[in-house]
Amino acid sequence: MATHVIGVVGAGQMGAGIAQVAAQAGIEAILVDVDLARAEAGRKGIDKRLARSVEKGKMTAEERDAVLGRIRAAGAIAALASADFVVEAVSEDEKLKARILTDLDKTCRPDVILATNTSSIPITRLGALTSRPDRVIGMHFMNPVPVMELVEVIRGLATSDETHHATVELARRMGKKTVVARDMPGFIVNRVLMPMINEAVVALYEGIGSVEDIDVAMKLGTNQPMGPLTLADFIGLDTCLAIMEVLHHGTGDTKYRPCALLRQYVEAGWLGRKTGRGFYKYEG
Ligand code: NAD
């Protein structure tokens, strides 16, 4: 059935972005986090981003009001009983995602597709925890969601063709291009990207170059829009570490071992932009 109401669980960087692009595409969005205050904080972040778009003349004030009017914040998954399609975007922690998926399975109508924005956890494993593995799929948005064009769609072993087509269709409605990846550790994007970021941290750890020189080298030397350490700060170092752990455990191959320095930064709470400090320091 057509998606009129999308549920998004997790109002962090990704969840808020997903709710925003859905609302911009005319879809009602219910944005859920652990409590109402955090969900409201996600909605406030969207408000700020939209205000900048209005200032830059990319959007009118009326359009902004209409988009915001389509986003409702909620403090519990029970609010998603009316959703037609759900994307979960909670932190990259398998136990947490497993709990969210089983809660969604109990709350949402049986015809509702449960998509996960996981960067690396097997879709097949998450799907098997529900009574509807045919309606569980990976819908991997890129960061920042309003800017990045790609959605990687990942089919679990049991995902149906119908679910696949509905997900691709929704991503297109949200203005995104899709690629299909097999349900293997890291899918396409992170299977290639994360080892590069991890290697940049190794290069820093071994003193091969400074933070700035590693980034400038990769930016100017390989024509990337930003250096790997800047990108890691942007993604979140906790997310980078979690993905490397999945690649490492999922393949059993030591070439994916996370760098000790990456682990230490995460232990220090230096998670990148979102905490104000990662490989760089951020203000405000
Ligand atoms: P984030 O830390 O910004 O947000 C996670 C949110 O989940 C937080 O607001 C947190 O309060 C919420 N949350 C935690 N437990 C919850 C619960 N029980 N119920 C409801 N909400 C809960 O993280 P993020 O960067 O937005 O990442 C979210 C997901 O998106 C992860 O699976 C990550 O791998 C994936 N992802 C991230 C990126 C990226 O670049 N950051 C890119 C693609 C995919």
Is residue 1's pLDDT more than 70? no
Amino acid (one-letter) located at 232: A
The single residue listed with the structure tokens 């690396």 is: 120
Whether residues 267 and 165 share a domain: the answer is: no
**Residue 210 among the catalytic residues:** no
**Residue 13 and residue 142: Cα distance in Å, rounded?**
10
The alpha-helical segments, DSSP class H, found in the chain are 13-24, 36-55, 61-69, 94-107, 123-127, 161-173, 189-205, 211-222, 228-235, 237-251, 260-267
The catalytic position among 28, 117, 119, 120 is: 119
CATH number at residue 104: 3.40.50.720
Whether residues 103 and 160 share a domain: the answer is: yes
CATH number at residue 258: 1.10.1040.50
- Ligand 1 geometric centre to CA of 209 (Å): 31
Assigned domain for 263 exists: yes
User: What is the signed CA dihedral for 215, 217, 219, 220, rounded to 10 degrees?
Assistant: 150
193, 256 in Cβ contact below 8 A? no
pLDDT of residue 283: 87
pLDDT in tens, 78-133: 999 999 999 999 998 999 999 999 999 999 999 999 999 998 899 999 999 999 99
Is residue 12's pLDDT more than 80? yes
- Ligand 1 geometric centre to CA of 211 (Å): 26
**Residue 140 among the catalytic residues:** yes
Cis peptide before 258 (omega within 30 of 0): no
Assigned domain for 221 exists: yes
**Residue 190 among the catalytic residues:** yes
Q: Which two tokens stand for residue 61?
A: 């004030």
Whether residues 55 and 156 share a domain: the answer is: yes
235 Cα nearest atom in ligand 1: 40
**Residue 143 among the catalytic residues:** no
Question: What percentage of residues in the chain have a pLDDT greater than 90?
Answer: 96
236, 272 in Cβ contact below 8 A? yes
Cis peptide before 144 (omega within 30 of 0): yes
pLDDT in tens, 234-264: 999 999 999 999 999 999 999 999 999 999 9
Q: Which of 13, 145, 273 to mutate to test the pocket of ligand 1 (most atoms within 8 A of CB)?
A: 13
Domain count, the chain: 2
Assigned domain for 186 exists: no
pLDDT of residue 102: 98
pLDDT of residue 3: 87
- The domain in which residue 18 lies consists of 5-181
Assigned domain for 281 exists: no
Q: Which of 2-6, 67-71, 158-162 has the lowest mean pLDDT?
A: 2-6
**Residue 41 and residue 16: Cα distance in Å, rounded?**
9
- Ligand 1 geometric centre to CA of 16 (Å): 9
Is residue 58's pLDDT more than 90? yes
The residue whose CA has the least distance to atom 40 of ligand 1 is 235
